[in-house]
Structure 1
Amino acid sequence: MKFKIEWFYYIVNTILRKQNSYSNKELENASITLNAKIMRSWVSNCNEYMDWLIEKDVIELTDNHSAGHSSRKYRFSEFIMGLLKKDLEIIVTELENLNSGNVILEKSIQESSVYAENEHLLKWFNDKLVIDFEGAKNYIQDVIFYESEYFDLKFKKVHWNYQILALHHKVFYATRNEESDFRLHTVLTSLKKLFKPFVTYGGREIIGYDLKNSQPFFLVFLIESIMNNNSKIDNILSRTYNKSYYNSYMLQKITQTICSKEFQDEYEVFRFWVLDGRIYENMTEIIAPDKHLRKYCNYKYDERLNYKIREIHYSLRNMMKGVFFTLLFCGVKTKDKHYHTFKRAFPNLVGLIEIFKMKKNSDFSKLLQNIESECIIDFVTKKIAEQYPEMPLFTIHDSVSTTVEYGEVLKTLMPYYISQFTGLTPKIEEEKWKKHDYQVDYKKRVELHPEWYAYNGF
């Protein structure tokens, strides 16, 4: 055969990785697009590989593909889905067979196109970054609950196996695309929190600090930057919007909105909620949560799927966080009831957000993520790395982590440099990777919530 096994490995793992992204996590076998230009830079005859995989019923083109009008989308065939669900050891065995010097698993992270500009973070992806593979693998086999729910986890476990194997076999990668979110994506950003307790660096435990209310926080920074003509956001805005369109049309509407007394009154309340670090708790003043049997229920309208999805939360804060993210990133014509409840309470603030979505709904999320990335990746972590070049640094979007002996240094410097960049006082939250306990065993859950299990027939 003229085909090489390593390129089949690359293609299938690319599909798995994209299915495992945040936007696709709710879907069991998501249809995903593959960037033809990037694929051909790796595999010049990638179309032949794709056609062979389709012919052999490994992957399939989804029905909504239209030649010349939409991108080709792929997902696994029903045959392969059945195999993946039936035997989770298949993926483990095949990847272990590929752990050979004769097979190119991935380009070295040092050869990545984004390495030079992000070396202060990417140089720590080396042999010292280790996962307790056996412990994580056994954990996957034993887990029966995930995100407060009891349901079929077989396909999720396929993705989880992929995540721990990529880290175990040092399949490191890095991407950062200024045409999208500009975030730094690595093997750690796709790793579920479930597996953080198994990860160490140089035999040391890892500790992280999250910026609390990060997206609302950067929304406040955006608004105040526009009010004060802060040049820091000029480049970020130009990456998101056409410069002439923004200057000639958007800026005029934004200025009219933020200069009104009604907006200023609403913004004063919103700003206090955000900088106090309790925006999600304070949102209960205007949005009444639906509580049943110690759970908080939310029905979120998914515009992509065109129906409501029931979300279950055991924490009121987590529920309101999800509600707020919907407020920020859904379309302006959404049917989501919480969006309209929030808009009645803050009509001018929501009106401002809708201006940023005028051309495309996703522009606003892209804008806030670009601001976050420039602050955390290009300013905060670079400043820390200059002061402490021997200090390991890892980022997961708005979170920065290091080894425990540098924990206090990071705790001090992270908010200091965020404040330097934004002019605002942030609140950060400690996250000890080793202390995560997302999986409570079955007996303990029954003891804690017997009425829930009785109600649901378990």
Structure 2
Amino acid sequence: MRIYIPENLDIFELTHNNPPSFKPYKLDKLCYILHLINAIPLMDKNIQGEDFVPINAKKLQDKIQNYKKYLNYLESDLQIIESDNHYVVGEKSKGFRFIERYRTPVKSMQVEDFTFRNKLKAHKNRKIESVKHLGFLTKWFNDKLRIDYDYIDDFLVQEHNLKIKDKALWEYDRVRKKYKHPTNQMVHAQMSAQRLKWQDYNLMLDDNVYRFHTNLTNMPSRIRNAVTYDGQKLISLDIKNSQPYLSTILLSRDFWIVQKFERNKNNSLSIAFDEPQSRYFSYLNKINKVFNEIKSDTLNISHINIHNNDSYIMLGEIPQSLINNEFQDYIDLVVSGKLYEFLEDAFLQELGIELKDRKEVKAAVFQVLFTSNQFKGQAEAAPKRLFEQKFKAVFDVFAKIKSKDKSLLPRLLQSIESHLMINIIAKRVSEGYPLAPIYTIHDSISTTEEYVEVVEQIMMEELTKAIGHPPTIKQEVWCKSNMVKHLETLKEKAKVVA
């Protein structure tokens, strides 16, 4: 069981010179808390740009009963970490970070204490249990999956030095309206690479949108270029404009026509209704024959894993709003893979907003699609208002879905993505080509050159069948030359700014 702490931190010397005054005390528990400061952001990219890492007190107490004494010892006595001293019950946990001296790459160490190691193993086993049914995916996380760690280590140092010298190279987080610190980025990337190097696999299926999280999904895309399987390069098959592409299914009556159905004793389909939808019973009864003819390969909301408390997503309300023929312009742009380019040009020409790169364009589109309906009135929501102007009918459907919970639209799309990529596409590949290595990274699948064409064909067939429109799929080879180009691009940008 490995944990990771700053590489320049001699925790043995520090604790020897300034021993703790409390008991019970275990060095492994102390190091585990330090480990969390770097490990938590790996599993939650939403906090990677934050200065302080929130640590959930209840979850920490489950592993370390007197955790407050450890935190106080680390902060006040050893002065290794510092806190933002801010928490809101039920909303925000207190945040911690290393003092500047220890914001460095990490080194790994083994947990030696038998009891604590077993407690951590039990926690890891619960994650393993969540992916037990995904053996067709988890089996490829084996000793043939390799990463050139030395190459990555050198690459990250070069990248970090370039960014530290020139703040114009820093990545901007449009959602949080702040720049991502290069040191934090380097630490997270280096830690994710080191975990793969040690075959310290972290696999889990979340119970929110049912995404399959792995060492590869938690790894920055630029360093996946140093990953190989059995000495072979991996090739990624990405759905272009994936979230907008998947959103087109929400513009179809057929998707919403059934919210929930189940087989009765006679093996025919029966419908389950929520109270708010009972007024639509007569309407649904008239088309019950249609329900009984639904094919398993037709994507429908009843196929998607969603929480019961999301059941208000409108059987009857959404279909009525879909009687509109203004969707085609949006669908055409999405299916052709040109929506981002269209909006990038519109933002520039009509709003004077110039976006630096593809990441910024994607972030701006996500702001348009996924922010709350109330956000539209704010000054910085000009792109959202422009989208409404260009695609009014589409905007109204998305606004209806988000009317009670702004998170519902992105969660619904991610659940659709998970269902298609894992349960449909990856499973079909594994059944038809059991020797094909497959790695899902949310909206993409990576495999070796030998199988890339058949995997792409299966993706094309299944996505077209489910969504109703063919996707645009882009192949990208994972290779170190991409990392070289990345560094060259940063150097060129630095010259231009200078």
Question: With structure 2 as the length reference, what TM-score do the two structures score?
Answer: 0.73
Deviations 1:192-248, CA, capped at 9 Å, x for gaps: 1221121111122111100111101111122224366566312537427443x33xx
Give the partner amino acid of 2:420: C
Change (3 A) 1:98 1:181: same
Q: Which residue of 2 aligns with 1:53?
A: 71
- Assess if the C-alpha contact under 8 Å between 1:172 and 1:186 holds in 2: yes
Q: Is the 8 A contact 1:109 1:174 kept in 2?
A: no
Residues 1:177 and 2:206 aligned together = yes
2:250 corresponding residue in structure 1: 222
1:20-65 per-position Cα deviation (integer Å, ceiling 9, x unaligned): 43212333x244253835x56xxx4424235412432155664442
Aligned to 1:283: 343
Q: What are the within-5 Å matches in structure 2 for residues 58-77 of structure 1?
A: 58-59=80-81, 62-67=84-89, 69-76=90-97
Provide the residue aligned with 1:357 in structure 2: 402
State the Cα RMSD in Å: 3.3
Q: Which residue of the other structure, out of 304, 315, 325, is the alignment partner of 1:236?
A: 304
Match of 1:196 in 2: 224
Given candidates 175, 183, 186, the residue that maps to 1:157 is 186
Q: What do the CA deviations read for 1:90-118 (whole angstroms, capped 9, x no partner)?
A: x22xx1x4388989596477971223211
Matches of 2:158 and 2:351, distance apart in 1: 30
Residues 255-285 of structure 1: per-residue CA shift (max 9 Å, x gap): 33211x4xx22x0111111111211122246
What residue is the counterpart of 1:23 in the other structure? 46
Q: Structure 1 regions of 5+ residues with no counterpart?
A: 299-312
Deviation (angstroms), 1:377: 0.9
Secondary structure class of the residue paired with 1:430: strand
* Aligned residue type for 1:155: N
1:124 aligns to 2:151 (yes or no) = no
In structure 1, the partner of 2:363 is: 322
Query: How far apart, in 1, do the equivalents of 2:139 and 2:27 lie?
Result: 29
The residue type paired with residue 236 of structure 1 is I
Distance 1:421 1:371 in 2: 10
The CA deviation string for residues 334-360 of structure 1, in whole angstroms up to 9 with x for no partner, is 222100111122222112111111122
1:112-151 matches, cutoff 5 A: 112-143=128-159, 144-145=161-162, 149-151=168-170
Call closer, same or farther: CA 1:60–1:233 in 2, change over 3 Å. Answer: farther
Which SS does the other structure have where 2:237 is aligned? Answer: strand
Counterpart AA for 1:282: F
Map 1:248-259 onto structure 2 (within 5 A). Answer: 250-259=314-323
1:405 to 426, 450, 464: 450
Distance 1:18 1:173 in 2: 12
Tell me the number of residue pairs that the alignment of Structure 1 and Structure 2 aligns.
Answer: 410
2:235 and 2:446 in contact (8 A); partners too: yes
Q: Bigger CA drift: 426-435 or 232-241?
A: 232-241
Distance 1:109 1:207 in 2: 31
Q: Of residues 354, 374, 377 in structure 2, which corresponds to 1:333? A: 374
Compared with structure 1, are the counterparts of its residues 291 and 358 closer, same or farther at alpha carbon in structure 2 (3 Å cutoff)? closer
Question: Could you say what secondary structure the match of 2:300 adopts?
Answer: helix
Change (3 A) 1:197 1:419: same
Distance 1:164 1:319 in 2: 25
Where do residues 79-118 of structure 1 align in structure 2 (5 Å cutoff)?
80-85=98-103, 88=104, 91-92=106-107, 95=108, 97-98=109-110, 104=117, 107=121, 112-118=128-134
Give the Cα–Cα distance (whole angstroms) in 2 for the partners of residues 148 and 385 of structure 1. Answer: 45
Residue 205 and residue 30 in structure 1: after superposition, are their counterparts in 2 closer, same or farther (change >3 A)?
same
CA contact (8 A) 1:136 1:195 kept: yes
Structure index of larger Rg: 2
Q: Any unmatched runs of 5+ in structure 2?
A: 1-22, 171-180, 259-297
Task: Give me the whole-angstrom Cα distance separating, in 1, the residues matched to 2:421 and 2:91.
Answer: 35
One-letter amino acid of the counterpart of residue 321, structure 2: T
Rounded Cα–Cα distance in structure 1 between residues aligned with 2:420 and 2:251? 16
Partner secondary structure for residue 205 of structure 1: strand
Equivalent position amino acid for 1:135 in 2 = Y
Aligned to 1:423: 468
- The answer as to whether partners of 2:140 and 2:437 remain within 8 angstroms in 1 is yes
CA distance in structure 2 between the partners assigned to 1:442 and 1:290 by the alignment: 33
Give 1:3 deviation, angstroms: 4.2
**SS at 2:412's partner residue?**
helix
Aligned to 1:206: 234
Tell me, what secondary structure is at the counterpart of 1:287? Answer: helix
Asked whether the 8 Å contact 1:209–1:411 carries over to 2, the reply is yes
Q: Which amino acid aligns with 2:48?
A: K
One-letter code aligned to 1:415? M
How high is the sequence identity, in percent, across the aligned residues? 23
Give, in whole Å, the separation in 2 of the partners of 1:73 and 1:289.
Answer: 43
Give the counterpart letter for 2:361 in structure 1: M
Q: In the alignment, is the contact (CA less than 8 A) between 1:109 and 1:122 conserved in 2?
A: no
